[in-house]
Structure 1
Amino acid sequence: MSARARALALAALVLAAPAGSRALGAPPSPAIGYLANEPTPASVPVLRQALADLGWSEGRTLRVWYRYAQGKPALYPRHAEDLVRLGVAVIVAATPPAVEAARQATARIPIVMVSTDDPVSRGFVASLAAPGGNVTGITTFAAEASARRVALLAQLVPGLRRVAVLWNPANPSAALDLRHTQAAARALGLELAPVEARVDSDLRPALAAIEARRAGALLVLGDALFLAHRRRLTTFAERQRLPAVYPLGEFADVGGLLAWGPSGPETFRRAAVFVDKLLRGARPGDLPVERPRRMELVVNLRAARALRLPIPAALLREADRVLQ
């Protein structure tokens, strides 16, 4: 090959290369890790777009390593350690077990928690205003949400008397959530029948216990275990003809009747803001933890038809999303 041909070939290779790699010796784009149970429509696509809007385009100005537990909590520590070995600049942890695994893996790399109910009780942060340490992000816990969910069940089911409540006593914030739920139920003259599930193997006996309680409705409290098994829970409620209210819209997306809780997309958009600040040099301990900025009501009309349960028109008007 002539010198001219070699020069033309080299020029073609340079022009074909990604923009970020054209400058010889340029530092690589920063990398972040994403640690979750699984990707959902409200998480990864929203986070990716929000980061791009802030100037962090995946594959161009930002590298992202994804790690998923896929319903196997024992994988979280291994995945977190892997992200640390990869040298990521920030870890986005989408569930409480992911946050805990990331904390155990590193005290140096900033961690942005998402969908974490009570980070103070869990020991993730010193306080919401001054987190300290290397963890910050968004808490999804809102005490008033418990009362709202109970009121929704009472509105949905005329003559309701007993409500089964699925909760995880191993969750540090669950006891507080249950107390708020009990107070709201008493105010409405409802009887609660709490049923516990701590780990995957507890779900089968827990669902059998709910069936045995002969409740008129089901309330599922917020927990990573229940989110991971949301399809199983919503299918159970439909088969038992149990009107149910869930803590996040992701439950309604897979067949749940009704959900009231923090907006998943909004939460991940806010997570992108935290990542942006941390990549630009902010210290996680100096960034206050945010509470939910927006709650959303999601109604699944297909589930309502399967239950032969009419949805009040006022509730439909109030809904942020109505799934057909």
Structure 2
Amino acid sequence: MKRRTACHAMLLAIMASPRMTWAQVADRPARLAFLVEPALDAPLQQAVVKALREGLRTLGYIEGRNYSIEFRSADGTFARLPALASELLRQQPDVLVTAWPAAAMAAKEATRTVPVVAVSVDNPVTMGLAQSFAQPGGNITGVGSWAVEIVAKRLQVLREFVPAAKRFGVLFNPNVAGPGLERAVADWQKGLGLPIHAYAASGPGDFDGAFAAMAKDGVGGLLVFADSNTYTHRVVLNQLCLQRRMPSVWGGRDFMTGGALASYQSDYPDMFRRSATLIDKILKGTKPGDIPFEQASKLELVIDAKAAKALDVVVPPALLLSADHVIE
């Protein structure tokens, strides 16, 4: 009996040992990995990388002392994500951080064991990243960005800009659009009371055809989805909006290069700073499946008054008053 009790106590001690947790790394610096589809240019370095490091620093993590981080970017090429995810996983990171839906889905396909913190994703349940917000249940947790709800708000903003429009369009990337897009468009259409047409574009070769189809369909305003494709080619798309005199609302301030009327989006830096808390919990032994998915809490409305003038669009005073930033 004494021997059985001693063995039982030893088993409990082993199970409670930090080495048995998902990623307890008290005896060495934590290894983090970061995967993103678009190029990590200056705006993303500021909004994403700097914000993540700030969040970690606030929690006592000092790069080079108690953690390291490896970055991989697909430079806007969707097809590169699976190989990059595998490359990062071979380095045996304690936590893999992903930015935006495409990278999160690549991580989901690449591992079922390494903890993943997916930042700025759409609904993680409908994407198959989690069983529920409160109890993800697998190896992935993160921060959602109110995708469906915020798109409805962007459409309302667009309607305030062009109240006489008879129909709207949404430009999406078929590589990352989920199976629920058709239903979502129907819901947005019902809520707005206007027909909404969806136009697929997976790269620059599709842009002219999409805009030509919009003109043929009589689209009076465009909502451009935020993804790596539209970010990578934002300058071309902004120019097309000017050339085609197409009022547009976008999903992030850094997407605006002179042709977009406005952006309404979750605050990216805030989300990536907050993700540091989730990373910290995992490194201290909490399973990702037990860490609830968070939702973005800060939203930002940016209006480009110069673009409005170029497009001969009057900015409603109410929108000006509610804007967080106005580009003059």
1:60-79 alpha-carbon deviations (Å, 9 max, x no partner): 32211000001111211111
Aligned counterparts of 1:106 and 1:78: Cα–Cα separation in 2: 12
Aligned-pair distance for 1:50?
1.4
Aligned counterparts of 2:267 and 2:137: Cα–Cα separation in 1: 26
Aligned counterparts of 1:56 and 1:172: Cα–Cα separation in 2: 39
Equivalent AA in structure 1 for residue 184 of structure 2:
D
2:101 paired with 1:96: yes
2:189 paired with 1:182: yes
Aligned residue runs from structure 1 range 146-157, under 5 A: 146-157=151-162
Q: Which residue of 2 aligns with 1:232?
A: 236
Note if contact 2:170-2:223 (Cα within 8 Å) is conserved in structure 1: yes
What is the TM-score normalised by the length of structure 2? 0.82
- Unmatched 5+ stretches in structure 1: 1-25
- Unmatched 5+ stretches in structure 2: 1-25
Equivalent AA in structure 2 for residue 175 of structure 1:
E
1:243-277 alpha-carbon deviations (Å, 9 max, x no partner): 11123333236752211121111111221221121
Note if contact 2:258-2:307 (Cα within 8 Å) is conserved in structure 1: no
1:130-150 alpha-carbon deviations (Å, 9 max, x no partner): 111100101113443233222
2:268 paired with 1:264: yes
Aligned counterparts of 1:92 and 1:230: Cα–Cα separation in 2: 25
Aligned counterparts of 2:309 and 2:228: Cα–Cα separation in 1: 28
Of residues 45, 50, 54, the one that matches 2:55 is 50
Q: Which residue of 2 aligns with 1:15?
A: none
Q: Which residue of 1 aligns with 2:29?
A: 29
2:316 paired with 1:312: yes
Q: 1:230 to 1:272 in 2, by over 3 A?
A: farther
Aligned-pair distance for 1:51?
1.2
Q: Which residue of 1 aligns with 2:327?
A: 323
1:199-241 alpha-carbon deviations (Å, 9 max, x no partner): 6654443233223333221122454543443333222212211
Aligned-pair distance for 1:113?
0.6
Aligned counterparts of 1:99 and 1:146: Cα–Cα separation in 2: 20
Q: Once the two structures are aligned, what percentage of the paired residues are identical?
A: 36
Aligned counterparts of 2:257 and 2:267: Cα–Cα separation in 1: 13
Q: Which residue of 1 aligns with 2:138?
A: 133
Note if contact 1:248-1:260 (Cα within 8 Å) is conserved in structure 2: yes
Aligned counterparts of 2:254 and 2:186: Cα–Cα separation in 1: 24
Equivalent AA in structure 1 for residue 191 of structure 2:
A
What is the TM-score normalised by the length of structure 1? 0.83
Note if contact 1:163-1:215 (Cα within 8 Å) is conserved in structure 2: yes
Aligned-pair distance for 1:43?
0.9
Aligned-pair distance for 1:156?
1.0
Aligned residue runs from structure 1 range 94-243, under 5 A: 94-168=99-173, 170-186=177-193, 190-197=194-201, 201-243=205-247
2:286 paired with 1:282: yes
Q: Which residue of 2 aligns with 1:16?
A: none
Local SS of the residue matching 2:211: helix
Equivalent AA in structure 2 for residue 218 of structure 1:
L
Local SS of the residue matching 2:256: helix
Q: 1:224 to 1:179 in 2, by over 3 A?
A: farther
Aligned counterparts of 1:230 and 1:180: Cα–Cα separation in 2: 27
Note if contact 2:207-2:237 (Cα within 8 Å) is conserved in structure 1: no
Note if contact 2:123-2:147 (Cα within 8 Å) is conserved in structure 1: no
Q: 1:100 to 1:159 in 2, by over 3 A?
A: closer
Aligned counterparts of 1:133 and 1:304: Cα–Cα separation in 2: 46
Aligned counterparts of 2:66 and 2:306: Cα–Cα separation in 1: 42
**Greater relative contact order (CA < 8 Å, ≥ 6 in sequence):** 2
Aligned-pair distance for 1:34?
0.8
Aligned counterparts of 2:326 and 2:172: Cα–Cα separation in 1: 26
Equivalent AA in structure 2 for residue 247 of structure 1:
G
Aligned counterparts of 2:29 and 2:258: Cα–Cα separation in 1: 37
Local SS of the residue matching 1:47: helix
Note if contact 1:142-1:292 (Cα within 8 Å) is conserved in structure 2: no
Aligned-pair distance for 1:198?
5.2
Local SS of the residue matching 1:42: helix
CA RMSD of aligned residues (A): 2.3
Note if contact 2:107-2:116 (Cα within 8 Å) is conserved in structure 1: yes
Aligned counterparts of 1:173 and 1:265: Cα–Cα separation in 2: 27
